[in-house]
Amino acid sequence: MRDPGRQIRMHLQTKHKNKMTKVAGIAMLCIMTAALTACGSTAQSKDATNSNVIEEVTVTPTESAATTDIETIEQTYEIGTELPDAKAFVAENSYSEVEYAQEYTFTEPGEYSVELTADGTKITANLQAVDTIAPVVEVKDLVAEPGSDILPEDFVESMTDATTVTAAFMTAPDLASEEVQTVILTFTDLGGNTTTKKASLHFGLDTTAPVLSGIYDRTVTVGKAVSYKDGVTAIDDFDGPVEIVVDSCLVNIRATGSYTVTYSATDSAGNTATQEAVFTFVESEYDSDEMDTLVDNVLDQILTDDMTQYEQAYAIYKYTYEHIAYIGVSFKADDLQTIYKGIVEGSGDCYSYAYISQVMMNKIGIPNIMVHRDSQPGETNHYWLIINVGDGWYYYDSCWHRGCSFDGKTFMFTEAQRIEWTNRTENGYYFRMDPEDYGVDVVQE
């Protein structure tokens, strides 16, 4: 069994597109120009701790390569950020063009020399590379078989830093204990910055299956596409959220009748939870042609021929926001009823705003995708759109948000705004979702 207190080296590298060359260790790379001849000469850089040659640079002098006595200013560079402007190294500001002469990459703190050209003349300046930012680390709790070899890296969910990070136990786990224990871990980068995290460790067998929530019998109109996972979650006591598998092979959405749908979820220990729900498909009481005419009539009232797609989308936003009263009652089991209730009776819930907006946008050719909240057990669902009127994908939500600071401001909002507004709400739930699930890149800011 390995020593549980040993340190684990995890290498993270950051590459930069700026041009520079690295001096080995803490020794500066010196180009010995004084002794150069027309045939060229070789300069060597040695490791500060031994005499092994670790880098050779052969320089052939030319008229434009001569190093001058231009005064330089040492710069400090935070590894992982943009390099200093080359002009910052030169004390005089009389040079029209100063740039790095070579390609550089830094992954360790230290003192380095960088070659620059100032209006074609080569100069050498000092750069101090530092790492002052602590690692960003997310850890996870661990369930392990008795007798397992536990290492600090086993607790790492994700880690980001500009330099190499060393993980270690501050309090080593008791490998003989069968109780749930708290483990304290440290993560230290090459700049000496340390992040401390806590995680739990349990030596024992996981025999508990995930808990499925949000599964219930539903009534749906014939022909309506069904999102079987909508509002359904599977949470495991050790793994957290786990994947949900739906077996709907018996369902025929084009025929009336009742069909059994089976849900299952399996954790990493192989424990499986299974639950069934009955989906009953019925004919809608509303005529599809009549609902189609209702939508066309509204569009004729709110749109004009000279409108841009942006203006059309805003007209739809304004109509649904002002015309539909939020009553918290869902009609999404029957989309035709959703249209009727929203347009004729002026009532509905978040799905009504999103669906009616989507139907209208589909008619006039505005690309859109319906999205929904990643709800957790006990939370309500929420629906809105992602739309593109020609200048990128934006979020669109014409639903009322009474009591929220963003009420009435959710026409074409960005990813940054979605995150900001979500974080303002309790438990950060409001617009909780993963944009990657929908295959489009939403405008960031």
Cα separation values, 12 from 25, 111, 361, 406, Å: 18, 20, 46, 39
Does 296 share its domain with 352?
yes
* Average pLDDT value for residue range 395-419: 88
Is 3 a domain residue?
no
Question: For 117-155, what is the HEC assignment?
Answer: EECCEEEEEEEEEECCCCCEEEECCEEECCCCCCCHHHH
For the cut 70, the answer to whether the pLDDT of residue 31 exceeds it is no
Indicate whether 312 and 336 sit together in one domain.
Answer: yes
What confidence tier does 429 reach under pLDDT thresholds 50, 70, 90? confident
pLDDT of 65 strictly over 80: no
Mean pLDDT across the stretch 141-168? 90
Residue 17 within any structural domain of the chain: no
Largest CA-CA distance found in the chain, in angstroms, rounded: 96
The residue count for the chain: 445
CB atoms within 10 A of CB 82: 10
Do 330 and 430 belong to one domain? yes
> Is 33 within the bounds of a domain?
no
Q: Is the pLDDT of residue 297 over 50?
A: yes
Report the CATH number that the domain containing residue 259 is assigned in CATH: 2.60.40.10
DSSP 63: G
- Residue 348 resides in a domain: yes
**pLDDT score at 68:** 59
Residues 117 and 163 in one domain: no
At 44 the pLDDT is 35
Q: Is 228 left (phi over 0), alpha (psi -120 to 50) or beta?
A: alpha
- Name which of 49-53, 326-330, 385-389 the model is least confident about: 49-53
Q: What is the mean pLDDT of the chain?
A: 83
Residues 294 and 395 in one domain: yes
For the chain, how big is the Rg over CA atoms in Å? 32
- Choosing from 98, 130, 162, the residue where a domain stops is 130
Which pLDDT value is given to residue 280?
95
- Highest averaged pLDDT of the listed ranges 218-227, 312-321, 331-340: 312-321
Which of 203, 229, 258 is the last residue before a domain boundary? Answer: 203
> From residue 283, how far is each of 225, 238, 287, 291 by CA, in Å?
14, 44, 10, 15
Question: Within this chain, do residues 351 and 265 fall inside the same structural domain, yes or no?
Answer: no
pLDDT value at 50 more than 70 = no
Q: Is the pLDDT of residue 157 over 80?
A: yes
Instruction: Give, for 43, the enclosing helix (H) or strand (E).
Output: strand 41-46
Residue 352 has pLDDT above 50, yes or no: yes
Q: Which two tokens stand for residue 350?
A: 């978040």
User: How many CB atoms within 10 Å of residue 224?
Assistant: 14
Q: Where does a domain end: 75, 96, 130?
A: 130
Comparing 43-57, 225-239, 356-370, the range with the smallest average pLDDT is 43-57
Helix (H) or strand (E) holding 266: strand 257-266
CA atoms within 13 A on the CB side of 17: 0
Residue 233 lies in a domain: yes
The 10 Å Cβ neighbour count of residue 113 is 18
Position 62 confidence tier, pLDDT thresholds 50, 70, 90: very low
Q: How many domains does the chain have?
A: 4
Amino acid residing at 382? H
- Answer yes or no: pTM beyond 0.85: no
DSSP 188-252: EETT--EEEEEEEEEES---PPPEEES---EEEETT----TTTT-EEEETTTEE--EEEE-TT--
Q: How far apart are CA 365 and CA 345, in angstroms?
A: 26
Which CATH number belongs to the domain containing residue 309 in this structure?
3.10.620
Same domain, 224 and 310: no
Q: Are residues 243 and 186 in the same domain?
A: no
Which domain does 74 fall in, by range?
A: 41-130
Q: Are 119 and 68 in contact (CB under 8 A)?
A: no
In a domain, 13, yes or no: no
Average pLDDT over residues 10-32: 32
The predicted pLDDT at position 376 comes to 80
Instruction: Determine, yes or no, domain membership for 444.
Output: no
108 and 191 share one domain: no
201, 202, 203, 209 alpha-carbon torsion, rounded to 10° = -130
Q: Is the pLDDT of residue 412 over 70?
A: yes
pLDDT of residue 404: 78
Does 246 lie in the same domain as 163?
Answer: no
Average pLDDT over residues 148-162: 92
Q: What band does 142 get if pLDDT is binned at 50, 70 and 90?
A: confident
Average the pLDDT over 266-277 and give the result: 93
Least confidently predicted of 121-130, 176-185, 264-273: 176-185
Which pLDDT score, from 0 to 100, does residue 81 have? 93
Is the sign of the CA dihedral 340, 342, 343, 345 positive or negative? Answer: positive
Asked whether residue 105 falls in the same domain as residue 171, the answer is no
Both 302 and 425 in a single domain? yes
Query: Is residue 343 domain-resident?
Result: yes
Across residues 251-265, what is the average pLDDT? 95
Residue 171, C-beta contacts closer than 8 angstroms, at least 6 positions apart: 182, 183, 184
